[in-house]
A and B are shown apart, each in its own frame.
Chain A
Amino acid sequence: MSDTLSLQAQPRVEAVRAPSRRRRLSEGARSERRLGWALCSPAAVIMLAVTAYPLAYAVYLSLERYDLRFPRQSHFVGYANYQAVLTSGFWWHDFLVTVVITAASVSIEFILGMVFALMMHRTIVGRNALRTAILIPYGIVTVVAAFSWQYAWTPATGYLAGLLPSSAAPLTNTWQAVGIIILAEVWKTTPFMALLLLAGLALVPNDLLNAAKMDGASAWQRFVRITLPLMKPAILVAVLFRTLDAFRIFDNIYILTQGAHGTGSVSILGYDNLFEALNLGIGSAISVLIFIAVGIIAFVMIRGFGTAVPGSENL
């Protein structure tokens, strides 16, 4: 469920707001307000019901010494769990792996996604077939694709592993395995990136490009000088969402390597500490730290680069 968040920035053209003309009439404004709340409440209630308590509970647990196996030893320990996590080599290693996977997969996806978007936009052969094909990885269950990659790269069952010299086992080597995880992630999520970029491409006016062509600008110059700057909002939204998503990578690693041989992400580390070690205190501290990291990424990208987010303008 994590890899499909689309983000819609604000259309400049405001929808017609019939009631807004009557804003001064407090009765009308009040009923509009009541209607707004009433319409939003089912969604708000269910979202809060599912997440508010767990979030608070995770924060509370992260301040406790709480191991499921030793329930009687539970007590408040303040920030000791955070200290344990932040001074642990395992956390920083997995953090590095997560950052590498995020950075690499988002940059590769961006380039590949741009290529796909340009192809979908421009191709003169089999446009529909191409669009359909590019959509397939988006829909495929992540776990299914991960199993396929795993079998393909494992010497005993694999086609790809068989192409490598002397039946090497790439999934057992940290950085080769990370490479395969990135490959799986890129394969699965490039369509999402490509579609958001395609939406951006559609906004580049053709006459502007034609005018530049007349002025003698090369294809590359037109792309860099005109297309890219006009696409900037689309690019930022696509990159923001994929970054937030990639940082939480779980399914692919869980199936491909189970985090063995130093390929764990921070989510895998959290999972292992919660469900293998049954150490809810440490595990919750890891979860909260992931949440904070994701929050920082979002904040930097939204404030730093001016990425448009719903709610940021014109509402």
Chain B
Amino acid sequence: MRRRKLAWGGADLVVLAWVAFPVWWIVALSFKDPSTITDGSFWPTKWTLQNYEGIFKTSQFLLALRNSIGIAVISTVVAVVFASLAAYAIARLRFPGKKVLIGVSLLIAMFPQISLVTPLFNIERVIGLFNTWGGLIIPYIAFGLPFAIYTLAAFFREIPWELEKAAKVDGATPMQAFVRVVAPLAAPGVATSAILVFVVTWNEFLLAISLTSTTASRTVPAALAFFTGASQFQNPIGSIAAAAVIITIPIVFFVLFFQRRIIAGLTSGAVKG
């Protein structure tokens, strides 16, 4: 038993090292000072907070962080609300066009996003959405939806709906049944899909570099391309690393605190086919 435990522990450590390497490397770079950033050493030889001070000193990064948070939160909330409605209908109701809706979602999930960039840019310019929060939020909702609909539809199918009926039999009004029975039952699924949609929008890069042009709407992944070194030709490795670490923090936070939820969301009721 002891040997088996050791073997499992060893295997766990290998996985841990594999997962941690790139994360550690960017953290290490972010703490290296400019004279040692090229030494290639695994552990920073001279620790410094200079890179972090640098990015927080200019409005460039702070504004991008504000945009990232705002855009991701709004997209997530709207996508999850819309997806909940649609998923409820898919899981519980009979109506023609259901397959079409699912087909369309699947199509959108497969869509090569580069082909969207030019037309989206043109439309957004005309209707004044270019370089605004809305200009990113709307496509993010559209791309978050298929994913949220699948997760939630699967989740809703698993919900013990007979409890709702039981509540009504017990004399609850439909409203009470919804608020006190259905909503709490559905909440974990909704929260999970919210986290997953948030991760997706937080990650997005291609549209973020294409549909923004100033700090009014640029998100952090896109803002990395605007960091400058000491002069025109110098690479801002330290600043990029520091900014990268900052935008990783919420992700680590979600993973640490909602590990079970995320795993359940990605697998919930899934693949029983």
- A interface vs B, CB < 8 Å? 1-20, 23, 29, 32-33, 35-37, 39-40, 42-44, 46-51, 53-55, 57-58, 61, 116, 119, 123-126, 128-145, 147-149, 151-152, 156-159, 161-162, 187, 192, 195-196, 198-200, 202-203, 233-234, 237-238, 244, 248, 250-251, 254, 267, 270-271, 274-275, 280, 283-284, 287-288, 290-291, 294-295, 298, 308-311, 315
From A19, A37, A134, A148, B19 is in contact (CB under 8 Å) with A134
Min C-beta distance of A130 to chain B, whole Å: 5
The reply to whether A148 and B205 form a contact with Cβ atoms under 8 Å apart is no
Q: Given A36-B89, A125-B5, A288-B115, is A311 in contact with B103 using a C-beta cutoff of 8 Å?
A: yes
The reply to whether A298 and B110 form a contact with Cβ atoms under 8 Å apart is yes
Please report the C-alpha to C-alpha distance between residue A7 and residue B159 in the assembled complex, in whole angstroms.
18
Min C-beta distance of A296 to chain B, whole Å: 11
Min C-beta distance of A243 to chain B, whole Å: 10
Q: Given A148-B25, A248-B113, is A43 in contact with B259 using a C-beta cutoff of 8 Å?
A: no
The reply to whether A47 and B269 form a contact with Cβ atoms under 8 Å apart is no
Stretch at the interface among B35-43, B47-55, B58-66, B179-187: B35-43
Min C-beta distance of B146 to chain A, whole Å: 7
Min C-beta distance of A50 to chain B, whole Å: 4
The reply to whether B259 and A132 form a contact with Cβ atoms under 8 Å apart is yes
Q: Given A125-B9, A315-B99, is A139 in contact with B255 using a C-beta cutoff of 8 Å?
A: yes
The reply to whether B8 and A141 form a contact with Cβ atoms under 8 Å apart is no
Min C-beta distance of B158 to chain A, whole Å: 7
Q: Given A15-B156, A159-B40, A310-B102, is A144 in contact with B244 using a C-beta cutoff of 8 Å?
A: yes
Which residues of B have CB within 8 Å of A310? 102, 105-106, 150, 153
Please report the C-alpha to C-alpha distance between residue A18 and residue B167 in the assembled complex, in whole angstroms.
14
Which residues of B have CB within 8 Å of A298? 106, 110
Number of interface residues of B (CB under 8 A): 116
Please report the C-alpha to C-alpha distance between residue A149 and residue B19 in the assembled complex, in whole angstroms.
12
Please report the C-alpha to C-alpha distance between residue A200 and residue B273 in the assembled complex, in whole angstroms.
10
The reply to whether A139 and B252 form a contact with Cβ atoms under 8 Å apart is yes
- Contact string against A for B residues 248-273, beta-carbon threshold 8 Å, 1 for contact and 0 otherwise: 10011011100100110111111111
Q: Most chain-B Cβ atoms within 10 A of its Cβ — which of A15, A148, A195?
A: A148
Q: Given A35-B93, A54-B119, is A132 in contact with B37 using a C-beta cutoff of 8 Å?
A: no
- Contact string against A for B residues 137-149, beta-carbon threshold 8 Å, 1 for contact and 0 otherwise: 0111111111101
